[in-house]
Structure formats: structure tokens, C-alpha cells
Amino acid sequence: MSKTQALAHIIPSLYLTINVDPAPQSSLTDTFGNDIADVSFLNLGANAFFDLDLLDGGMFDNLFPTGRDDISTDIAISESPYQQSISPEITATSRSYAEDTNTNLPCGMSLLQISPLDAHRLQILQFLNESNQDSWQWNQWLGVSNMARFLRSYFKSFHQHTPLLHLPFWNIASTSTRLVFSMILMGAMYSGDLKSYGSEARQLCQMAQTFAWASDLSLQAGGPAELDTIQAVYIATLLDTFYFPAKRHRPPVNTRRLINEARSAGVFDSVNPSNEPWKMKWDEWSAQEMRIRTAFILYLFDAIRAVLFDQRPELHLYELRLPLPCDENIFAVNSKDNWHELYANSQNPTRVDYPIVLSLFLCNHPVEMPLHFSVMGAFVVLHGILLHIWEQKTIHVQIDCSKISNEVEQNVRKHLVNIQSQVVDNALRLWRKHWVVTLSRPGSMASEGLYRDRALAYWFLGNIMNRNRSMGGMGNWTLRILQLLRRLTTLVDSGQLDVASDNVTGVAGENIDPHLGDIQESADESADVEGVDTIILDCMMRKDRPSGD
């Protein structure tokens, strides 16, 4: 026994921090930096309604010993309270997690009633153990205090980009463990505790997907999946696709089962058009709105996979027989009375099924009727236009017209390309006008994150894709599109593009091509220079909107 280990038997664990020999660079559990210690809910914004006690009433106190003190670990005293890593020498004991779950509890009581986060933790570890994943190595990393910190990171950093959950009704005790598992992985990625270059990270992410499917009792009984199962698998799949790409320039993730299970669960089914939202019970409306948002978040994910990675979509437009999501301030309100008042007195978004809305944009005749969108709704429409551009490029620009010997076919292709280009140009111009109106609506004031901050970068990208007739024959599609998106994002943030005009120009009215450099002509074929995860995470998902916007 080393001197340090001997000290562990004398000095109370409160004054010690678990640590081991430095982990290799590819390890999941790189040390925790001090810069991530402060993840207070106070930074979530005034409209985010949360009771911190709902996370776990006793998460910071070791009130319920669980018999894990006999684990063999290396102990080191550290100045940093968050400097922890997993010991490769941790060994399992004969005590099972199932026994741990109900230790010292009266008959009829569940640990979920007293310490819900610890109950979720033990279920996750039990699953990893039963799956022969050497769950004991995750024992410290999935500690209760770490899990609480990862959940804070999820709500602070990810929720604003993907408002999937209705916060006034969210409760750690009533949330399924499968959803909690995916949420803590996403939160850990944002806090810097889940590294995209580690094989353990991808393995853990894939185990979260497996756990979600396996733990759904309805699904296991032959019925449809629960909505929170679809949400849990989506979050884990998003991580697997954008943040842990096996091939940095082409994620190989298969989303077919996710979309098929969502279909079977009725996620994309229409809602009763005669049932006005403000006449519903608040909890019933909440469930309906979360289903609508889940459906469109899956659609956004499917569309961007096609646009960024040149992959065939799994979801068809006609399946989304749903109205677009409600205004952000209505979704964020924290009481039934305020919700009803806002809905009854505000100018609500147009409640027309999404396929009809998109068709109004993808035509040569301007839309005469006024259309009102939430920020998320407008972002969905923009992605519908981008997906249409991708489809037309795939159909019409795969073959160089100059290489077609048949003159009739050559003329037909040229005609269709020109017509479709005009249709898309009209759609993008019309969307830009509606976007200005959307941002000025009172209902959009509570919006923040990706949908609001990055919409114009996507709009510029659509214009460039539409006018670039040679884009269908680009070599490495993914790197070119991603690098274009990254450059456009940088130009928008630095004020070099005219974001107040319907035209695609710089701030001085000049053509934007010189700003783009040589990206359109030659993409860097080296995936190590700039990977998918770098562009998506650093450029797209972590942008903080300046105050006053």
C-alpha cells in the first residue's frame, strides 16, 4: 500500500479527491478543469422555470451509504475539487447494483422517492454491468455530483439550441432513466468531460441508445415506443453523428430505426385542427407541443444530414402533417395562468400543416396571405428549402449537361435547372422577408440559441448552393459545405455580410465571393484540419448571442 493510499484510511473522504495516473489522450475521462465548475441555473435566463431541489434533494450529501467503499482505487490529494479520473485498476465486488438500489429502505419505498438522481445512476450502472461493459469503471465518472453538474450543463448549453423538453413540467424524479442517461452524456460533452476522440465516448453513447430501446416496456411488449424513448435515442444519436464521428467527414450513423419507431409511435401524426391550443388543459397542451417539437427536431436532423453529409433522408415531407411549433415565450412561460393569457392575447403563428406552408414558399407566385412563424418554425421552413435545394441538385446536376450527347435531354435538363433555381431564389427571398417579421414579433423575444443565431448563415448557404451550378459534382461534398457554413458563420458574426438586406451581399453591397476565398473551388481533403465535430460544436452550437440582440 502506498503512502497516499494509507492516508485515505485516515483522512475523511471529504478532503480527498479521486485521481489516478494521467489518462491517455484518447480517454473519456480527461481531468475536469476549474473553468467548468460554475454551471449555475441562474445563467439559464429569467424565463427558464426550475426548482433546483427537483434535481435531487440529497445529491450533495452522502446520506445513504451504498457499500462502495471497498472499491480498489488510487487516491491522490488535489487542489482542484473537480479533478477526477477513472482508475484502470478498479475491480468489481460481489455486491450488485440491484441490492444497492433498495439498501436500508422500508418495504414499498423506492430510492427514486428520496434520492432520484442516485436511483437513476444505479439503474444506468446496473444496465452497463449486465451488458458486460465493465460498469465499475464508470463508477466515479457517473457519480451523483457529476451527474447533477452534467444535467446543469445540458440545460445551460444544449436546451437553448434544441428546446425539446417543456421545462415547467420537467422533474428529475418523473423523468425516465433512459432520457436522463442521454441528457447527462450531452451535458458532459458541453462541460468538456466527454471527449469526442475517445473510443469510450462512442461506446457509452451507443450503450445509451441500446438502453433506451431496451428499457421501454411498451416497446418490449410489442407496442409503440414512448415519446421520451424517441427523445433519448435522438439525443444519443445526435452525439454519435456530429460529435463522435468515426470518419470525421462522413458520420455513418444509421437513423432508420429512430425514424421508423417515431412513425409507429405517432410522433408525426396530425393534431385535431378544431382543437384550439388555448382551450386545452395546460398539461395536455404541453404533451402535444413536445410531440410537435420532437417531430420537427427529427426533421431538422434528417434534413441537415442530407445537406451537410449528402445522405438520403429517412423522413418524407408529406408525413409531417403538423402545425409548426408555438412561440418561444409561450413555451417558456412557467404558470398555467400566464400561458393561457399569452396564448389568448398574442398573435399566434399560422396553424397550417407544414407541407402546405412549405409549398407556399416553393412556388413562383408570391404568398399574399400573412404568415406568422415562431423562430423555430421559421428555422424549420428554411431547412425545408435547403433540403429542396439538395434534392434538385441530386436530380439535375449529377451529370454535366455538356457531356450529354442527346440534344433534347440536354435542353430539358438545362430548362429544369433554370426553373428550379428561380423557384428556390423566390423561396429564399420570401423567407428572408418573413424572418425579419418573425424576429420583431413579441413572441420571439424569449428565443435564443442555434435557431435564432445561425439562421442567416444557413440562408446565405442556401443562396450559394442554389446559384452554384457545379456543386452537384463537387468531390468531397461534406467538407465543402461544412467549410462554407463555417466561413459564412464567421462572416455573419464579424459583420462582414449584410444581414439587413434581402440580397446576398457584403455590408458595402459588394459580391460576397471574395469573402469566401477558395472554398468553393477546392476543399481541403484533410479531415484532420477541421472535422465535423469542430465545426458543429465550436462554430454552430456554442455561439452566445450578444445581449441586446
Please report how many Cα atoms fall inside a 13 Å half-sphere around the Cα of residue 226, on the Cβ side: 17
Rounded average pLDDT over 146-161: 93
As a three-state string, the secondary structure of 356-423 is HHHHHHCCCCCCCCCCCCCHHHHHHHHHHHHHHHHHHHHHHCCCCHHHCCCHHHHHHHHHHHHHHHHH
pLDDT at residue 536 greater than cutoff 80 = no
Q: What is the pLDDT of residue 412?
A: 77
71 versus 478: the higher-pLDDT residue is 478
pLDDT in tens, 194-230: 876 567 788 888 899 999 999 999 999 999 999 999 9
| Residues 129-138: contacts with CB under 8 Å, at least 24 apart | 129/92, 129/96, 129/97, 131/207, 131/210, 133/203, 133/207, 134/92, 135/97, 136/71, 136/90, 136/91, 136/92, 137/86, 137/88, 137/90, 138/86, 138/204
> What's the rounded Cα separation, in Å, for the pair 382 and 468?
18
Instruction: Print burial letters for 352-370: b (CB count within 10 Å at least 16), e (below 16).
Output: ebbeebbebbeeeeeeeee
DSSP type of residue 156: I
> What's the rounded Cα separation, in Å, for the pair 178 and 175?
8
> What's the rounded Cα separation, in Å, for the pair 86 and 29?
7
Q: What is the pLDDT of residue 363?
A: 87
Give the amino acid at 63.
Answer: L
Cβ-proximal residues to 478 (8 Å cutoff; 6+ apart), any chain: 249, 250, 308, 309, 310, 532
> What's the rounded Cα separation, in Å, for the pair 79 and 37?
13
As a three-state string, the secondary structure of 500-520 is CCCCCEECCCCECHHHHCCCC
0.75 surpassed by pTM: yes
- The CA–CA distances, whole Å, from 220 to 213, 223, 225, 273 equal 8, 7, 9, 33
pLDDT at residue 548 greater than cutoff 50 = no
pLDDT at residue 132 greater than cutoff 80 = no
Q: What is the pLDDT of residue 435?
A: 93
Q: Read off the pLDDT band of 245 (50, 70, 90).
A: low
pLDDT at residue 77 greater than cutoff 60 = no
pLDDT in tens, 363-376: 878 777 788 999 99
> Among residues 171, 179, 82, which one has the least CA distance to residue 124?
179
% residues pLDDT > 90 (the chain): 36
- The CA–CA distances, whole Å, from 248 to 182, 193, 538 equal 22, 20, 15
> What's the rounded Cα separation, in Å, for the pair 431 and 434?
5
Rounded average pLDDT over 430-436: 92
Q: Which of 241-255, 408-422, 441-455, 475-489 has the highest mean pLDDT?
A: 441-455
pLDDT in tens, 28-59: 444 333 343 333 333 444 444 444 444 443 33
Region of poorest pLDDT, from 6-20, 118-132, 268-282, 405-419? 6-20
Give the amino acid at 392.
Answer: Q
